[in-house]
Amino acid sequence: MGILSSLYSGVSGLSTNGNALSVIGNNISNSNTIGFKSGRSVFSDLLSSSISASGGISQVGRGAGMSTVDNIFTQGTFENTAKNTDLAIEGEGFFIVRDPNTNTDSYTRAGAFRWDAEGYLVSPEGYRAIGYALNEAGNVSGDLTEIKVDTTTLSPPKATENVTFTTNLDAASQYPAPIIGKFVGVGRTLDTTAAGATDFSDPDGVLTINGMTLDIAGGGTYNQGSALEISTAIDSVAGINAEGIVIPGSINLSEVADKSSTGWTIPAGLTINGVSLAGAIPATVDRASYDVALVNHFNSLLNPVGVRASVDANTHSLTLTSMDGSNIQVINSADMSSSILSLNGALRKTVFSGLEIQAKGTDIGELTIDAGTNSTYGLVFNTGTSGRDAGFDITAPEATSNYANSVTIYDSLGNPHQTTVYFSKLNPATNPLQWEYNITVNAAELNLTPAQTGPYLISSGVLRFLDDGTLDPDFPSGLTTSPNDLAWNNNSDPTVQLNIDFNTTQWSNASVVISQDQDGFGTGTVAQLSLDNEGNILGNYSNGVPRSLYRISLAKFSNAAGLTKTGNNMYQTSGTSGSPIVGTVGSGIGQIFTNSLEQSNVDLAAEFVSMITTQRGFQANSKIITTTDEMLNELINLKR
């Protein structure tokens, strides 16, 4: 019986070593399988039999068996790839994937993922990766879910709230021509009085209101004492026109008590029948009664010498006629001088927010306002008194500034708008180390009544520098617009305020924008998907805005060796593995690396050594069988 049992012991050894060789062969065959974890055969002896019940322990073994095949979860080396969805785990974690057919979860170390046609992140077998959805702030929102990205979903827009410029303004720049008077704001009043006579010859587009240039009509002379008040009004009644253009605001003109007029302009030395025509009519005559006043004035002078005066209603030419009906003189150059006349009755529209008067190398002429009858009112400003000196003209911004830069901002609906900042150096004699900035947008894009075109001034300010060229920290280096300053004409939110910060220097180098940034953007669709080493699924949108959409989850087990292999590099839980502990990168489960795949942890050298020892074990066990067979033959031969 003992001889026969040795035969079975050899058979068990053959079986056990054969199974061990199968494990070795599986390891070697998967030496290039990504995420593969090698197996190890563990042998154990079989139940022994006792050959004696007394005299101590006398047991004879029955052979060997395979007690277990352990999964060896040592870290595999990483292979770099060109595919961003290739992921490798460093640590104890596993990717969680879900079978879409059975809705069961499996676990794998193989991170060769891809995007399928439905937008799911899947394994080569079509199992869907599991993770957490992220909100717009990039924080986890909700429970575990299948990772699916809808590339047609729009990214919501964001209105620009902050703009930053990093610039250098050339300290060697020359300052532009000065502005005689400037008015910016709503509900403010600008008062100024002429100091001495001011010549208004050859004016050229010197009055600008909200970007509209009002051509100047006529010329003349103002004497000291003339004055003009320009103020705003709230009521929205009759419109004000300047040569056919409606001014988006209100201009109320009034006169001071000591205004004066130079009278009528008469050819030098002109006399009629010995009567000199030089003289002046009352300064209170307005343009509407111009012709009547002119006739009455000259008739009072010439009646005693038998001469009558008449005025052509269209040309305003003065004709002097004798009593016999013959013309004595036609005076075409007679006209009323440019006095300030009283304006009776309010002319109002809506409150306007900007009035700028540019010197242009000449003095200011007259503003023509259509108030039922054509009346001409002069604007008198005293340089150095009416506002500060500056050189920016919104009708010619490039010509009256030293440097400009544009940035695209966005409204609440995601529409882009170009904003331009013009920098103008101020007079170093009166405003040393100071620059003015003026910020404009396209008036056609704003909700203005009436509609306008061209640049529109939304705000302005002054930058002051220290003698080392850096900004004075005690002086504002930016501004915040007021609500409704940017009321776009597309029904976007008009209350959005814009914060502009100038990180600016003034050094003797070319004026240049070093960098600029703004925090708004328009709508966009997913243009590209990528993953980062935090396990985040990033959507790069067509508007240039990246957003974290999902975060890949990881799982670990208290006994990973107890996981059951199910093929396709997948594992499932078993009674000995324990339940999965789910988390993300940074929770102590593992670290994810993109553009990488974990190689098999099979050690071929060790496997070949195991193969040799297994082969020798198999040979030895086969020798047991042949030896036992020979012994049995000897036993049978005893009968002979």
> Predicted confidence band at 355 (pLDDT cuts at 50, 70, 90)?
very low
Decide if pLDDT at 352 tops 50: no
pLDDT score of 320: 64
Helices and strands in the chain, H and E counts: 3, 46
Decide if pLDDT at 30 tops 80: yes
Would you give the end-to-end CA distance of the chain in angstroms?
A: 21
| Surface-to-core class of residue 600, CB atoms within 10 Å of its CB (0-12 exposed, 13-18 middle, 19+ buried) | buried
pLDDT score of 293: 62
> Predicted confidence band at 23 (pLDDT cuts at 50, 70, 90)?
very high
Element (H or E) spanning 318, and its range? strand 318-322
Question: CA–CA distance from 333 to each of 244, 307, 328, 507 (Å)?
Answer: 27, 19, 16, 56
Q: Which residue has the higher pLDDT, 557 or 256?
A: 557
Do residues 371 and 288 lie in contact, with contact meaning Cβ atoms separated by under 8 Å?
A: no
Q: Which residue has the higher pLDDT, 342 or 479?
A: 479
Decide if pLDDT at 20 tops 60: yes
Q: How does DSSP assign 456-509, residue by residue?
A: EEEEEEEEEB-TTSBB-TTS--EEEPPTTTT-BTTS--TT---EEEEEEE--SS
Q: How does DSSP assign 393-417, residue by residue?
A: -TTSTTTT-SEEEEEEEE-TT--EE
Residue of 73, 84, 82 whose CA lies nearest to 36: 73
Backbone φ and ψ of 418, nearest 5° = -90, 125
pLDDT score of 291: 59
Mean predicted confidence (pLDDT) in 263-272: 45
CA distance 39 to 614: 15
Mean predicted confidence (pLDDT) in 333-362: 32
Contacts of 190 (CB under 8 A, 6+ apart): 181, 183, 229, 230, 231, 355, 386, 387
CA 351 to chain centre: 32
> Predicted confidence band at 627 (pLDDT cuts at 50, 70, 90)?
confident
Mean predicted confidence (pLDDT) in 93-105: 96
> Domains (ranges, CATH) in the chain?
2-70+604-637 (no CATH), 78-156+526-598 (no CATH), 162-177+392-518 (2.60.98.20), 271-331 (no CATH)
**Three-class DSSP category at 204:** coil
CA distance 425 to 572: 74
Decide if pLDDT at 240 tops 70: no
CA distance 601 to 79: 12
CA distance 77 to 35: 10
Under the phi-then-psi rule, with left for phi > 0, alpha for psi from -120 to 50, and beta for the rest, what region is 404?
beta
Contacts of 374 (CB under 8 A, 6+ apart): 287, 368
Q: Which residue has the higher pLDDT, 501 or 55?
A: 501
Cis peptide upstream of residue 416 (ω within 30 degrees of 0): no
Decide if pLDDT at 233 tops 50: no
Decide if pLDDT at 210 tops 70: no
Choose the weakest-confidence range: 56-65, 458-467, 629-638: 56-65
Decide if pLDDT at 522 tops 60: yes
> Predicted confidence band at 126 (pLDDT cuts at 50, 70, 90)?
very high
Question: CA–CA distance from 372 to each of 233, 347, 557 (Å)?
Answer: 19, 11, 91
pLDDT score of 53: 61
Mean predicted confidence (pLDDT) in 382-404: 61
For residue 103 the two structure tokens come to 């809705």
Residue at token pair 């504002």: 476
CA distance 452 to 247: 10
Helix residue ranges, H only, 303-374: none
Decide if pLDDT at 60 tops 60: yes
Across all residues in the chain, what is the average pLDDT? Answer: 73
Enter the pTM of the model: 0.56
Residue type, 195: A
> Predicted confidence band at 205 (pLDDT cuts at 50, 70, 90)?
very low
**Three-class DSSP category at 96:** strand
> Predicted confidence band at 477 (pLDDT cuts at 50, 70, 90)?
confident
Decide if pLDDT at 167 tops 80: yes
pLDDT score of 353: 29
> Predicted confidence band at 68 (pLDDT cuts at 50, 70, 90)?
confident
Backbone φ and ψ of 461, nearest 5° = -175, -175
Decide if pLDDT at 75 tops 60: yes
Choose the weakest-confidence range: 90-104, 322-336, 355-369: 355-369
Residue of 427, 430, 463, 508 whose CA lies nearest to 175: 427
Q: What is the pLDDT of residues 538-579, one digit of tens each?
A: 999 988 888 899 999 999 999 999 999 999 999 999 999 999
> Predicted confidence band at 319 (pLDDT cuts at 50, 70, 90)?
low
Decide if pLDDT at 173 tops 50: yes
> Predicted confidence band at 208 (pLDDT cuts at 50, 70, 90)?
very low
| Surface-to-core class of residue 324, CB atoms within 10 Å of its CB (0-12 exposed, 13-18 middle, 19+ buried) | exposed
